[in-house]
Chains A and B, each alone.
Chain A
């Protein structure tokens, strides 16, 4: 390799690195311009889409009323085996963290389920958390539900921190995610 070619390569390396530094600075994001936390979308780092549903016990459930507490939204149906399998884990974690402010809402895809089956499953498993009933499927659509179960972990600011599609979720995994939400709580 000629000395000229070698020096040219050396110079281009330096120019590439300088251009890289310039680009890093030029493409920086002003810290006040992150709009994702103001847009509601079923995606990590975005505001969780709000919804208002009636629960199995007839109470009103409004997601935005729960700001200030970490929330787990679990989408499920009584005919879905992994959904049924993970419910005891959700109940166990709920019992462990309820005093620390954790809220779990198991949104039932009622538009594709039977209310009597849901009632029977909930009483058999002694589920103590609210079961909002999505009778029209509108909440499932707003959360872009692809398959059941889907679990959404929302922090106390209402921001989605984790979306897990599929199951059954092991107890340890739910605990880890809840611990993260509680540690982030202001």
Chain B
């Protein structure tokens, strides 16, 4: 656990720093791969920055909307630089909506754009795992395995490191897989989603969870399973369509 990086009198919050570093690395990687998916790298960069800005502003507005009474008589808190006054879910939804509207307006295929963003999402997911490791959140259940981390009086599964490594594996796979004619637009993105949710579904089985449902089941695993099922279903649908198109093609 290293919640802050102390540089002389400066104390930098490491989880936020790692996340921003991940955003930057992910965007550089996505821009370099954009041409593979016939997407203009400059446009991709522009959309990412618009989404980041919309996400930050949206996260603050969403937080204010959810806790408006706390700001009464204290309006200057609205402009506080404190990241704890951000609602990540609200920010994500607003950022995604703005990105979607912008892409639709530019008449770009959403699936092709998501394909080009896959390396960005993969790096960001890996960075998020490291960020959790730095803050100590999302820690593992106790273990006797030799690689268990001594944390708060017990050896625990380093779940954040499992997620980080599996995130890098997913990134490696999507960078290696070639988009062929057999693959429709969206294949790389759906492959990334399937790999990420599959890995996370498995490794979350070693994660401590304060919220449990149906006799001890982690709700997060159910969410991962549902997303995995949806992505596999769409992949199958796309495969069926490709097969049908191939079958309908005039021969000779």
Interface residues of A (CB under 8 A from B): 1, 3, 6, 9-10, 13, 16-17, 20-21, 23-31, 34-36, 39, 41, 43-46, 144, 146-147, 164-167, 169-173, 175-176, 179
Q: How many residue-residue contacts, CB under 8 A, span A and B?
A: 130
* Chain A contacts for B235, CB-based, 8 A: 13
Q: How far is the CA of A41 from the CA of B175 in the complex (A)?
A: 41
Q: A-facing mask of B212-238, CB < 8 A → 1, else 0?
A: 100111100110110011001001100
Q: Within residues 65 to 85 of chain B, which ones have a CB less than 8 A from any CB in chain A? A: 67, 69-71, 74, 76-78, 80, 82, 84-85
Q: A169-B82, A173-B84 are in contact. Are A23 and B202 (CB under 8 A)?
A: yes
Cβ-defined contact, B3 with A24, below 8 A: no
Q: Give the docked Cα–Cα distance between A3 and B239 (Å).
A: 11
Q: How far is the CA of A36 from the CA of B3 in the complex (A)?
A: 20
B6 A146 Cβ-Cβ under 8 A: yes
B239 touches A1 (CB 8 A): yes
Q: What residues of A have a CB within 8 angstroms of the CB of B137 in the complex?
A: 44
Chain B residues proximal to chain A, CB less than 8 Å = 1, 3-4, 6, 11, 13, 67, 69-71, 74, 76-78, 80, 82, 84-85, 136-137, 139, 141-142, 152-154, 182, 198, 201-202, 204-206, 208-210, 212, 215-218, 221-222, 224-225, 228-229, 232, 235-236, 239, 242-243, 246
Do B13 and A165 have beta carbons less than 8 Å apart?
yes
By Cβ-Cβ distance, the 5 closest A-B pairs, closest first, are A27-B205, A41-B152, A172-B77, A170-B77, A28-B216
The answer to whether B225 and A170 touch across the interface, beta carbons within 8 angstroms, is no
Known: A1-B239, A170-B85, A176-B67. A36 touches B208 (CB 8 A): yes
Cβ-defined contact, B85 with A24, below 8 A:
no
Which one of A20, A30, A35, A166 lies within 8 Å of B142 (CB-CB)?
A35
With A and B bound together, what is the CA distance between A36 and B136 in angstroms?
A: 13
Q: Which residues in A have their C-beta under 8 angstroms from that of B210?
A: 34, 36, 45
Give A20 to B225 CA distance when docked, in angstroms.
Answer: 7
Q: Are B3's CB and A146's CB within 8 A?
A: yes
Contacts A165-B13, A172-B71 hold; do A1 and B242 have CB atoms under 8 A apart? yes
Contact B212 A29 (CB under 8 A): yes
B217 partner residues in chain A, CB cutoff 8 A = 24-25, 28
What's the nearest-Cβ distance from chain A to residue B194, in Å?
8
Given A173-B80, A179-B70, A31 contacting B212 (CB threshold 8 A):
yes
Taking a contact as CB atoms under 8 Å apart, the answer to whether B70 and A24 are in contact is no
Instruction: Enumerate chain B residues within 8 angstroms of A24, measured Cβ to Cβ.
Output: 201, 205, 217-218, 221-222, 225
* Residue in B84, B153, B154, B242 whose CB lies within 8 Å of A164: B84
